[in-house]
Amino acid sequence: MELIRENNVIDGIKDHVNNTNQYEINIQFENDDHNSVKFNVPYKPLLYNLIFYNWILIKFPENSNIAQLAFNNILETRISLELNQNSSKSFEIKFIETSNIFKVYCNVKNFFLISHLELLKKVSHEDILGPLFEFYLPDLFGLPTTFKIPMEVTDDSNIYFKPKRKRKKRIMLKEEKLEWLTAIKKNHDNIVKEGNSVIMTNEFRNCIEDLYYKLEDEGMFKTVEMLRLETFKNNNTKKYKADKNQKKKDFYEDTATDDKELCIYNLYDCEIYE
C-alpha cells in the first residue's frame, strides 16, 4: 500500500483549489407579483465531500497544515452559504452538511486564524462567531467562556472527535496571545475611529467590543509590550542557539574533511618514502 504523505495531499488540494473557482448560481424565485425573477448569488463550494474532511482529522494530527487548509475551505463555504441561505431552498442541504462539518472541526480545536477576521466581518450567525469570540479566545486569556463546546452535530454520519488537549509550549502561547491582542485592539481602534463607516455586521462589531472591554478590564492590553519584548527575546535566543549549532556542525564537517585530506597526504607520503 502506498504511503500517504501530508505533503502529497496538500499538493493535491492546492491543485484542486487552483482549478476550482468561485462561481455563480442562477436562482429563481417568485416575487410578490408571482413573476419568476433570476439573479446571481456568489457561492464557494466545498472542494471535497464530507468523508474526505473527516478522514483528514483521522489520518493527520489536528495541528497539521492539511487540517488547517481543510478548515479554511470549510469556513469560506460556511460563510458563503450563510450569506445566501435565504435565497433559495436549494441551499438547504448544502447548508446543513457544511454546518455539520464546520462544527466537527470547531469541536476539535481552534482552527481560526487572525487572517480569518476579514471574512468574519461579514458574519452574523452565532454558530460561526461564538466558537472564536465566546469560547476559544476567552479560554486563551483565562476568561469565562459563554459558548458551549463541543457543539451538537445533527448529522449522524459525521464523526464525533474527542480532541487530545495538549498543553501548548509557553513560548507558543505567549506568541498566540500577543498576535490576538494586537488584532483585537486594531479592530476595536478602527471601530472607534471610523464609527459606522466600518463595513462589518453588528454581531461582529459586538463580539470585538465585548471581548475588548473584557480584556481591558483584566489589564491584558497593558501586558502587550511585555509580551512583545519576551517574544522578541525568545526569538533571538532561538536564533542564537540555531546559529551556534550550525557553527558546531560546520566545524565538525570541516574537521572531517581535513582528516580525510590528511589521510590522503599520508598515503602519498608513504609512497614517496617507500
pLDDT digit string, tens, across residues 207-243: 999 999 999 999 998 877 776 676 666 655 555 455 5
For range 102-131, the mean pLDDT: 96
pLDDT at 2 over 50: no
Residue range 252-259: average pLDDT? 47
Q: Are 123 and 129 spatial neighbours (Cβ–Cβ below 8 Å)?
A: yes
The greatest distance separating any two alpha carbons of the chain, rounded to the nearest whole angstrom, comes to 112
CA dist., res. 81 & res. 95, Å (int): 6
Kindly report, residue by residue over 31-62, the tens digit of the pLDDT. 334 333 333 447 888 999 899 999 999 999 88
How far out from the chain centre does Cα 265 lie?
58
Per-residue model confidence (pLDDT) at position 185:
95
Cα pseudo-dihedral 43, 44, 49, 52, rounded to 10: -160
Mean pLDDT of 57-70: 93
Half-sphere exposure (Cβ direction) of 36: Cα atoms closer than 13 Å? 3
Which pTM was predicted?
0.70
Question: pLDDT confidence of 83, banded at 50, 70, 90?
Answer: confident
